[in-house]
Structure 1
Amino acid sequence: MTVSLRTPLCDLVGVRHPVVQTGMGWVAGPRLVSATANGGGLGILASATMGIEQLTDAIHEVKERTDEPFGVNLRADAEDAEQRVDLLIREGVRVASFALAPNQRLIGKLKDAGIVVIPSVGARRHAEKVAAWGADAVLVQGGEGGGHTGPVATTLLVPQVVDAVDIPVIAAGGFFDGRGLAAALCYGAAGVAMGTRFLMTRDSAVPDEVKQRYLASACTDTLVTSRVDGLPHRMIRTDVSDSAERSGSLRRLPGAIRQAVGFKRMMGLSWRGLVTDGLAMRKAQQLPWHRLLLAANTPMLIKAALVDGDPEAGILPSGQVVGMIDDLPSCAELIDGLVTEAASVLQTNATTQVTDA
């Protein structure tokens, strides 16, 4: 029997289950996104590591693989952000998600076209800001989450945001099973978003040997470091992360510059575009120039591990939840198991007898 948990998130974006697969660079491609969508969740296509032509092709491929709603994650500070927004509008993509808060004008343009806008935030004040600007929902990631992350635990951050805004809140950071989904709903969230858990599925294109590295990791095998790109970044310990922790950032600049130039070529960016993107990132994230160059290097380090299959040559973004994962289900199996278990937990709690002391 199919179990369903209907929340405002489901009604907002048109999915069957309140489960979101996050837009992980190099990981959230057409195969993973369409598998998530066909499983009843909301798949988010990662565009930060795609040129605009690649993104166009990826959107078309997702559409060929599924008729279900899906989203695209955008960088609000990218030089071609406006072009990408126009692309989403032309293609009728259901959801636009943002790693950094988009400006009010971009939000309005997307909403006028009928696209649901869901920025990701890591602080209550940021959620309040994007809600005031018209965002339809907000994805809130706590410190347990992988990749760039903040200092506040999910269990503390989500209730803060739920109390502060009147739009659906999606909880992220530390979720991997139905108990977590049930807990998030009890906190007042409208669903959960997961990155590491979806990376660890059979539908993920990450090489199997890299998935085995994730499977072998414990909750204590991740670290949060600012030494890689100047921003707090949670990842599994590798030779690269250990080297970054030991060495000064200036010593790593020559290699970072070479990698950044390689990323420029791969993305089809002009030198002007690369500089413009850098200036926008520097302004948004308040990075000094040497840290900015390290940040430009990060996508190539992630590619080395998650695409090229050499964990020790790159970095492995991961939430602490990696230590709780011991299998590789399909996306459909994962989502169905989450929802079924969450429904059981909520039903059990609903029938718990409450008595006066």
Structure 2
Amino acid sequence: MKIAWKTPLTELVGIRAPIVQTGMGWVAGPRLVSAAANAGALGILASATMTLPHLRDAIREVRKRTGAPFGVNLRADASDAADRVRLLIDENVKVASFALAPSPALIARLNDAGVLVIPSVGAVRHAQKVAAWGADALIVQGSEGGGHTGQVATTVLLPQVVDAVDIPVIAAGGFFDGRGLAAALCYGAAGVAMGTRFLLTRESTVPDPVKQRYLAAAVTDITVTTKVDGLPHRMLRSEMVATLESSGRTTQLLHALRHAAAFKKHTGLSWRQLLQDARTLRHGKDLTLSQLLLAANTPMLLKAAMVDGRTDTGVMASGQVAGLIDDLPSCQEVVERTTNEARTALARIASR
């Protein structure tokens, strides 16, 4: 593929296309990340559900598959965040991305080691904060995006953030093709980040029956619920979402206990660490035990669908763009098609 894109994002990271494959839990593993990187995009490895040894192995597997730059997504509020940062530095990872704002100390440590820091934000004030702390770029996600999301649409949030900071801004939430990339560039973004589009590729390890559920979904089949972990979460309507939304507090607590125990076993965390991570994830609010345990619902409910293929017992995080996607191309085809469509769209605008 011959790509001649030059934006602040491509120059900063050393990639060929101004596209980021987001760090989706249970989805963005070595196979998808390396395929996205080889296609010219920035692949981001999802690490929140990995133990430290697993993360090290995953990083090394990506490196075996590609010589292109890639990143790792971290939870800045995790109890072992410092250890994970050390691992990224030791393994010479190019980019550290964060779903929540990392502390100034973490940013400084990564910057000193030459690791680029790219947090995700959903509000202007958060963008200004991480930029002031030394972030190299940021991903701004509007409410159309999948997973945990805010209330402001990308078309409203993006121009605010672009005007508020002087570092490269990557637009996320509602992007799946070249028209979206062209629009984001016109807004002043340095590129786009896409999750659902890369989830629905041939290299994605999501089971085929689950992919078919996404492909069959209309825009109106994608909803926002707070019943998974108490926070707004965009996902496909499913049997489990309906069950969670109709269940009472006792049933929710039983779900939370079962999934918390499963996540504890998977990660090796103690109950104290599990509750501590849940508390920081939910911004330190004064919460009940059942509300804290609900935070463990997300990774295990996602695993049920994304790994085990159980759409009846799991949930499927999704951007609204799932309702517009109807194919399963390779990552190479996604990047080529997106960049070619964007060139055509921008040339059409210039000709007018």
Bin the TM-score by the shorter chain: over 0.9
Residue in 1 aligned with 2:224?
224
Q: Is the 8 A contact 2:45 2:73 kept in 1?
A: yes
Where do residues 269-348 of structure 1 align in structure 2 (5 Å cutoff)?
269-284=269-284, 287-348=287-348
Q: Is the 8 A contact 2:32 2:205 kept in 1?
A: yes
- CA 1:187 to 1:132, structure 2 compared with 1: closer, same or farther past 3 Å? same
What percent identity do the matched residue pairs reach?
66
Query: Partners in 1 of 2:4 and 2:315 — Cα distance?
Result: 37
Partner of 1:355: none
Tell me which residue corresponds to 1:60: 60
Mapped partners of 1:214, 1:114: distance in 2: 38
Q: Is the contact made by 1:250 and 1:290 (CA closer than 8 Å) also made in structure 2?
A: no
The answer to whether the aligner puts 1:96 opposite 2:96 as a matched pair is yes
Alignment check: 8 A CA contact 2:275 2:292 kept: no
CA contact (8 A) 2:238 2:311 kept: yes
Q: Which residue does the alignment assign to 2:203? A: 203
Tell me the distance in 1 between the aligned counterparts of 2:282 and 2:207.
33
- Confirm or deny: 8 A CA contact 1:144 1:174 kept in the other structure: yes
Partner of 1:317: helix, strand, or coil?
coil
Measured after TM superposition, the shift of residue 285 of structure 1 is: 6.4
Q: How many residues align?
A: 352
Superposed displacement of residue 246, structure 1: 1.5
Cα displacement string for residues 205-256 of structure 1 (whole angstroms, at most 9, x for unaligned residues): 0001110111000011011011221000000001111112212344211121
Segments of structure 1 that go 5 or more residues without pairing to the other structure are 353-357
Worse-matched range after superposition: 281-290 or 207-216: 281-290
Structure 2: any 5+ residue segments left out of the alignment?
none
Separation in structure 1 between the aligned mates of residue 250 and residue 85 of structure 2, nearest angstrom: 36
Q: CA deviation at 1:2?
A: 2.5
User: Does the aligned pair in 2 maintain the 1:69–1:94 contact within 8 Å?
Assistant: yes
After TM superposition, the structure 1 = structure 2 runs for residues 1-357 of structure 1, keeping only pairs within 5 Å, are 2-284=2-284, 287-352=287-352
- Cα distance in 1 for partners of 2:99, 2:212 equals 28
Task: Report if the CA contact (8 A) 1:48-1:74 is conserved.
Answer: yes
Question: Which runs of structure 1 show a deviation greater than 4 angstroms over 4 or more consecutive aligned residues?
Answer: 284-288
Structure 1 counterpart of 2:315, one-letter code: I
1:2–1:284 Cα change, 3 Å = farther
Measured in 2, the distance between the counterparts of 1:19 and 1:286 equals 39
Q: How far apart are the structure 2 equivalents of 1:2 and 1:45?
A: 25
Q: Name the amino acid aligned to 1:340.
A: N
> Does the Cα contact within 8 Å between 1:230 and 1:287 map onto a contact in 2?
no
Q: 8 Å contact 1:302–1:317 — kept in the other structure? A: yes
> 1:112 Cα deviation (Å)?
0.4
- The AA in structure 2 aligned to 1:201 is T
Give distance in 2, aligned partners of 1:283 and 1:32: 31
Label 1:285 to 1:117 Cα distance change in 2 as closer, same or farther (>3 A). farther
| CA distance 1:288–1:141, shift in 2 (3 Å) | farther
User: Counterpart amino acid of 1:114?
Assistant: G
- Give the counterpart letter for 2:270 in structure 1: S
Alpha-carbon deviation of 1:295?
Answer: 1.5
Cα distance, 1:282 vs structure 2:
3.9
What's the secondary structure of 2:139's corresponding residue? strand
User: How far, CA to CA, are the matches of 2:195 and 2:21 in structure 1?
Assistant: 6
| Rounded Cα–Cα distance in structure 2 between residues aligned with 1:136 and 1:249 | 43
Q: What SS class does the counterpart of residue 337 from structure 1 fall into?
A: helix
Name the SS for the 2:78 alignment partner.
Answer: coil
- Indicate if the aligned counterparts of 1:4 and 1:339 stay in contact, CA closer than 8 A: no
1:150-175 alpha-carbon deviations (Å, 9 max, x no partner): 00000000000000000000000010
Secondary structure, aligned partner of 1:64 = helix
Letter in 2 for 1:47: S
Describe the shift of the 1:220–1:226 C-alpha distance in structure 2 as closer, same or farther (beyond 3 A).
Answer: same
Instruction: Provide the C-alpha distance between the structure 2 equivalents of 1:251 and 1:268, rounded to a whole number of angstroms.
Output: 25
CA contact (8 A) 1:176 1:321 kept: yes
